Structure 1
Amino acid sequence: MSKDLTAGRSPFKTFKRIIFLLTLMMLITVLGMLIASLVIRWMGGVEQWYEWSHDHYGGLLTWRCLLYAALTYAWLKIQPWKLATSPGDRLRLMGLQAAAVILIVLVEVKKAPVDWGALL
């Protein structure tokens, strides 16, 4: 049986925390969209942005790999497996971790400047 993570908290505090996290996610999303639109305008259009990102793929890949490494370190540091109280929870957590790795690999393969049609 899994441990109730909200035990001992009032429903209002839990609701307040959820609202705070949702607001934070919305602000980060809006900020990202604002930065993207400013960069695209500064570059002169979407085509120029695409060309620039294609030309600088190696540097951007290095940056993303550093971000992935930092996220992995943080994930391992918080030891999420301690949150799992039953073997079923641990299996589900391992499944989510595997799905995250597969998703990252698929995104990076799609972004790679390779003519996959010629390779297949």
Structure 2
Amino acid sequence: MRLSIGARLMVWGLGLAAFGLLINLLASAVLGDFITWHNWLRDHANGLFLWRLSLYATLVYAWWRMRNRLLQREPQVASRLQRTEVAAIAALTLLEAANAVSGRGAA
């Protein structure tokens, strides 16, 4: 049985949410409680932000290479790619802005 695109996206979303929950539960168990985990995240917010920036830079580099190959193979998808890129940049910008405004700094 093959899942539809929507079902696959839902499975991925639920999997990522479960993974995030698991990481938080494990970290709080290792550190003793959620308050200590929250304090650790707050204390290391700048380092985590730099890590995310390096991750974004790596993704941009990989995307740029893949994008060029895709456009050579299928030039008619250029406008769709541009809309997708704008949406991705907007989503990441909003995520980082929300983290900055909330004072968390760590996703």
Alignment TM-score, normalising by the size of structure 2: 0.67
2:27 aligned with 1:47: no
Bigger Rg, which one: 1
Q: What is the Cα deviation at residue 77 of structure 1? A: 1.5
Cα 1:111–1:83, aligned 2, differ >3 Å: closer, same or farther? farther
* AA matched with 1:81: L
Identical counterparts, % of pairs: 32
User: Residue in 2 aligned with 1:81?
Assistant: 71
CA contact (8 A) 1:54 1:113 kept: no
- Number of aligned pairs? 96
- Alignment deviations for residues 72-92 of structure 1 (CA, whole Å, 9 cap, x no partner): 111112224335431xx2111
- Alignment deviations for residues 22-59 of structure 1 (CA, whole Å, 9 cap, x no partner): 8xx58x73555433321121122333222221221110
User: Residue in 2 aligned with 1:99?
Assistant: 87
Q: Whose helix proportion is higher, 1 or 2?
A: 2
Q: CA RMSD in A?
A: 3.1
Secondary structure at 1:78 match in 2: helix
Q: Tell me, which stretches of 5 or more residues in structure 1 are unaligned?
A: 1-14, 116-120
Q: What is the Cα deviation at residue 111 of structure 1? A: 1.0
Cα 1:83–1:49, aligned 2, differ >3 Å: closer, same or farther? farther
Q: Tell me, which stretches of 5 or more residues in structure 2 are unaligned?
A: none
Secondary structure at 1:77 match in 2: helix
The 1-side partners of 2:88 and 2:36 are apart by: 31
